[in-house]
């Protein structure tokens, strides 16, 4: 099964409140976005899936929000949940390692997507696209499983990072301005340590 088929199956077969990464309130991501962009700039959520982040941003005055995900099923579910409010969001179905151009955003947010990129060439393309999408001074917020996090997510192997190894993937185009540890609990109660970095586009 290829990457896209995997994620389409995940979102077609599962209730999105039962998947391991589900959060009723994405408060860590939101707080980091607020700190990165107090002026409430344009935000893109990479691999946003069915996250509750878009409505939290809308509720708090963000006017330019985009969500990209490889899974059309995830985007359909997220749009259905948001009903009419979905029209205030730009939805993009695509593989982040294949997208050519996303336009311009002030904040790039990714929770638990980059860590699936096991191939160096995919990670290089990801960083290159982020570098083209954010202006100088733009902020990239990325959360991955920490070094002591689980080795797999959604049945797929992940790369686990600490602040130094994650920063190394993004340098010298990005420079770290904040490091935050976060302990996520899956709906079944399993702890998953995350590392979040906020980086500035140099």
Ligand X SMILES: C[S@@+](CC[C@H](N)C(=O)[O-])C[C@H]1O[C@@H](n2cnc3c(N)ncnc32)[C@H](O)[C@@H]1O
Task: Enumerate binding residues for ligand X (CB under 6 A).
Answer: 3, 7, 21, 47-49, 51, 68-71, 74, 95-97, 111-113, 116, 153-154
Kindly list the distances between the CA atom of residue 117 and the CA atoms of 96, 124, 165, 185, in Å, as whole numbers in the listed order.
Answer: 10, 10, 14, 23
Q: Which is nearer to ligand X, 104 or 182 (CB)?
A: 182
Q: Which is nearer to ligand X, 184 or 201 (CB)?
A: 184
Write down the least CB distance from residue 30 to ligand X, Å.
Answer: 11
Q: Is the dihedral of CA 43, 62, 56, 183 positive or negative?
A: positive
Kindly list the distances between the CA atom of residue 35 and the CA atoms of 5, 110, 143, 170, 173, in Å, as whole numbers in the listed order.
Answer: 36, 16, 15, 20, 21
Give the other-Cβ count within 10 Å of 140's Cβ: 27
Write down the least CB distance from residue 165 to ligand X, Å.
Answer: 19
User: Using an 8 Å Cβ cutoff, are 114 and 142 in contact?
Assistant: yes
Q: Which is nearer to ligand X, 31 or 175 (CB)?
A: 31
Q: Which is nearer to ligand X, 50 or 136 (CB)?
A: 50
Write down the least CB distance from residue 52 to ligand X, Å.
Answer: 8
Q: Which is nearer to ligand X, 13 or 136 (CB)?
A: 13
Write down the least CB distance from residue 62 to ligand X, Å.
Answer: 17
Contacts of residue 165, Cβ cutoff 8 Å, sequence gap at least 6 = none
Write down the least CB distance from residue 92 to ligand X, Å.
Answer: 9
């Amino acid at each position: 099964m290829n990457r896209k088929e995997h994620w389409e199956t995940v979102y077609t077969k599962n209730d999105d409140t039962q998947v391991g990464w589900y959060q009723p309130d994405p408060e860590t991501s939101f707080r980091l976005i607020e700190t990165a962009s107090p002026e409430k700039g344009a935000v893109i959520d990479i691999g946003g899936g069915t996250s509750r982040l878009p409505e939290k941003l809308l509720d708090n005055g963000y006017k330019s929000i985009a969500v990209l995900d490889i899974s059309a099923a995830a985007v359909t579910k997220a749009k259905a949940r948001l009903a009419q409010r979905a029209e205030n969001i730009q939805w993009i179905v695509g593989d982040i390692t294949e997208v050519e151009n996303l336009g311009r955003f002030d904040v790039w947010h990714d929770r638990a997507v980059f860590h699936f990129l096991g191939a160096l060439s995919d990670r290089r393309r990801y960083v290159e696209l982020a570098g083209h999408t954010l202006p100088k001074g733009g902020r990239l917020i990325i959360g991955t499983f920490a070094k002591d996090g689980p080795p797999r997510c959604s049945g797929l192997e992940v790369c686990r990072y600490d602040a130094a190894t994650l920063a190394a993937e993004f340098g010298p185009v990005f420079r770290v301005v904040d490091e935050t540890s976060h302990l996520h609990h899956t709906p079944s109660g399993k702890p998953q340590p995350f590392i979040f970095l906020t980086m500035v586009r140099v």
